[in-house]
Structure 1
Amino acid sequence: MKLRTLMRHAKEGAKSLGRNGWMTFASISAVTVALLLVGLFLTVMLNLNSIASQVENNVEVRVFIDRTATKEQQETLKNQLQQLSHVKSVTFVSKEQGLEDFIKSMGDDGDVFKSMKGKENPLPDAFVVKTDKPKETIDVAKAAKELNYVDEVNYGRDYVEKLFHVVDILRNIGLVLIVGLLFTSIFLIANTIKLTIVARRREIEIMKLVGATDAFVRWPYFIEGLMLGVLGSIIPFLLIAIGYHQVYDWFIGKNYQTYLFVKLIPYEKMTLYLGGLLVLLGAVIGVWGSLTSVRKFLKV
């Protein structure tokens, strides 16, 4: 297609938006409301998924070493742990460091244990084992427990198993809801856009009767649908971006990232992904709604 012809179709598509004022407003409003709901839900679900992944990645296996084990035996145990399937890293934690970490984890309540420094330390040396996949933690812990020179293995069994179960449920529910909401939005938006095309069916029939090709008829509506979708996606994107910026600043200001050990998706990253996704969804839905409606009136 020549650039001149394409510009002509673009101009016609833009003019149609102005000529059909109320129908254009109705279509853009439908796109805006639907994509606002989709965008809000996606923002919440993306952050929940990110937080779940952060919590999963913090899961670790702590292998306490037998107090009677020599340095050579400890080194042997470390090599055996590193050779286990799905083990990503093995870090030695001395009993002194273990006491320091325990005191820090207790916060203000840990002050009562500071008097133990320099005295008999009841904690054993340990290896902290990280897996390449969080769900492999359970199997790695069971395998580590069977090795020599191991006194005890701790990975928060009840907590970890419940965590993985809850995370799987949340992800599955979120996926089903997002897909359902997207299909509902596509159906509502496309049908609203169809109404604007149906109202101009005589115009399409006349163009066909005077010899216009299907492509010549489709292009202005293709561009009009594209414009409707993109215009309808801008408002929800701006509203969600402003709202997320406020929530993100409040979360950072309250220092919840330190207390809860989780982070929200950074504002810049979220707006980039969400903006691109909403504009793409709006454009696809707008084009699809226009083209499927025009097709019905091309058979003259």
Structure 2
Amino acid sequence: MAIKVSYALREASQNLWRNVFLTVATVITVGVSLFLFGGFVLFQLGVDNATQRWEGGIEFVVWMQPDATPEQDLAIRTAIEESPEIRDWTYVDQEAAYEEFKEIFADSPELIDVVTPDKLPPSYRVVPVDPDADVVTELGRQFEGQPGVRDVVFAGDTIKEIQRQADRIGLIFFVGSLLLLGAATLLILTTLVIAINSRRQEIEIMKVVGATNWFIRIPFMLEGLVQGLAGAVGAVIATYFLNAYVIEGFSETSSLQLLDGFRVTSSELFRTNLLLIAIAVGVAVVGSAVAVTRYLDA
């Protein structure tokens, strides 16, 4: 027995309306759990973007003046190369700095339009032999005030503490979202079981007249899918506002130079929202599959 889309949609909507309060509770639970997971992902992306320049053990950055002369640049490079206290270093020229700038401010084209590579300072990203904060500070201070040097910025314990706190907060978001996703799966399962039991007599009649297993199951599975997708829509909207008003606001108002790149690009936000939708579909499929295979004697 074939099933029409209109029939499946009508049956699913009727089941949802019959258990409207449980349906609303399920949608809210799915939405909140996905929002927490989305917040976890966006927060981690923001921290990763902000601390990208400090990866690989980089402890301080020597910023050169954009108009530093070749002689001034060579003097700093020579001092870095000859220092026995420096294990490794990377030179970021103005073109590379401009590429980083465009990547960080991809969502602010008005800034990219007014900035050119010659306005950005080149820099030396330095990895000391000894990561001790006092040693790093003493080493970095040697470059402050040198001709052609604009500034020396230290990661030190600050950036490490930021990363530790980010890991803790991220873990809370992640565990909370997993617990709520488990609860959402159980709610979808419960909603479908109630719908199945309330229509037990109709289901038996359908079997008698020759309805196939899938003819009976699809409306219930569609019901679970609708609940999951409705929660995902709410979570996607919430993560958009989270990024627009919290994450970007923090980046713009932060006085920490260490966090001037704390932002999430539009492509990262888009991929995060796609992930939330995929998780919602997965939760709905799991809950629906368990319900129709275990509680629907078709």
Q: TM-score, normalised by structure 2?
A: 0.59
User: Aligned residue for 1:185?
Assistant: 184
Q: Report the Cα distance in structure 2 between the residues aligned to 1:262 and 1:253, rounded to whole angstroms.
A: 9
Are 1:29 and 2:24 matched, yes or no? yes
Map 1:1-300 onto structure 2 (within 5 A). 5=2, 8-20=3-15, 22-23=17-18, 25-26=20-21, 28-59=23-54, 60-62=58-60, 74=79, 77=82, 87=88, 89-91=89-91, 128-129=125-126, 141-142=129-130, 153=139, 157-159=156-158, 161-242=160-241, 244-247=243-246, 250=249, 260-266=259-265, 269-270=268-269, 272-299=270-297
What whole-Å deviation, never above 9, does each CA across 1:80-123 have from its counterpart, x for those lacking one?
96xx5xx5x4349xxxxxxxxxxxxxxxxxxxxxxxxxxxxxxx
What whole-Å deviation, never above 9, does each CA across 1:219-258 have from its counterpart, x for those lacking one?
3333333234323433443354356444467557758797
The Cα shift of 1:55 comes to: 4.5
SS in 2 for 1:169: helix
SS in 1 for 2:177: helix
What whole-Å deviation, never above 9, does each CA across 1:274-297 have from its counterpart, x for those lacking one?
432333333333333333222234
Structure 1: tracts of 5 or more residues without a match: 65-69, 93-125, 131-139, 145-149
**2:50·2:259 contact (CA, 8 Å) conserved in 1?**
no
Q: Report the Cα distance in structure 1 between the residues aligned to 2:36 and 2:137, rounded to whole angstroms.
A: 47
Q: Which runs of 4+ in 1 moved over 6 A?
A: 70-73, 255-259
Letter in 2 for 1:90: T
Q: Report the Cα distance in structure 2 between the residues aligned to 1:158 and 1:292, rounded to whole angstroms.
A: 49
Gap change, CA 1:176 and 1:57, over 3 Å in 2: same
**2:41·2:272 contact (CA, 8 Å) conserved in 1?**
no
Q: Report the Cα distance in structure 2 between the residues aligned to 1:263 and 1:72, rounded to whole angstroms.
A: 29
RCO comparison, higher one (Cα < 8 Å, 6+): 2
Gap change, CA 1:285 and 1:167, over 3 Å in 2: closer
Q: Report the Cα distance in structure 2 between the residues aligned to 1:195 and 1:246, rounded to whole angstroms.
A: 40
Gap change, CA 1:161 and 1:265, over 3 Å in 2: closer
Q: Report the Cα distance in structure 1 between the residues aligned to 2:220 and 2:51, rounded to whole angstroms.
A: 48
Identity level (%): 20
**1:52·1:167 contact (CA, 8 Å) conserved in 2?**
yes
**2:192·2:220 contact (CA, 8 Å) conserved in 1?**
no
Gap change, CA 1:206 and 1:54, over 3 Å in 2: same
Q: Report the Cα distance in structure 1 between the residues aligned to 2:41 and 2:262, rounded to whole angstroms.
A: 12
Structure 2: tracts of 5 or more residues without a match: 63-74, 93-122, 141-153
The Cα shift of 1:183 comes to: 1.6
Gap change, CA 1:252 and 1:35, over 3 Å in 2: same
Q: Report the Cα distance in structure 2 between the residues aligned to 1:195 and 1:176, rounded to whole angstroms.
A: 29
Q: Report the Cα distance in structure 2 between the residues aligned to 1:152 and 1:221, rounded to whole angstroms.
A: 68
The Cα shift of 1:14 comes to: 0.5
Gap change, CA 1:252 and 1:214, over 3 Å in 2: same
**2:60·2:155 contact (CA, 8 Å) conserved in 1?**
no
Instruction: Figure out how many residues of one structure are paired with residues of the other and give that number.
Output: 239
Q: Which one is further off, 277-286 or 244-253?
A: 244-253
Gap change, CA 1:165 and 1:288, over 3 Å in 2: closer
Q: Report the Cα distance in structure 2 between the residues aligned to 1:72 and 1:240, rounded to whole angstroms.
A: 44
**1:42·1:178 contact (CA, 8 Å) conserved in 2?**
yes
Q: TM-score, normalised by structure 1?
A: 0.59
Which entry has the higher C-alpha Rg, 1 or 2? 1
The Cα shift of 1:260 comes to: 4.8
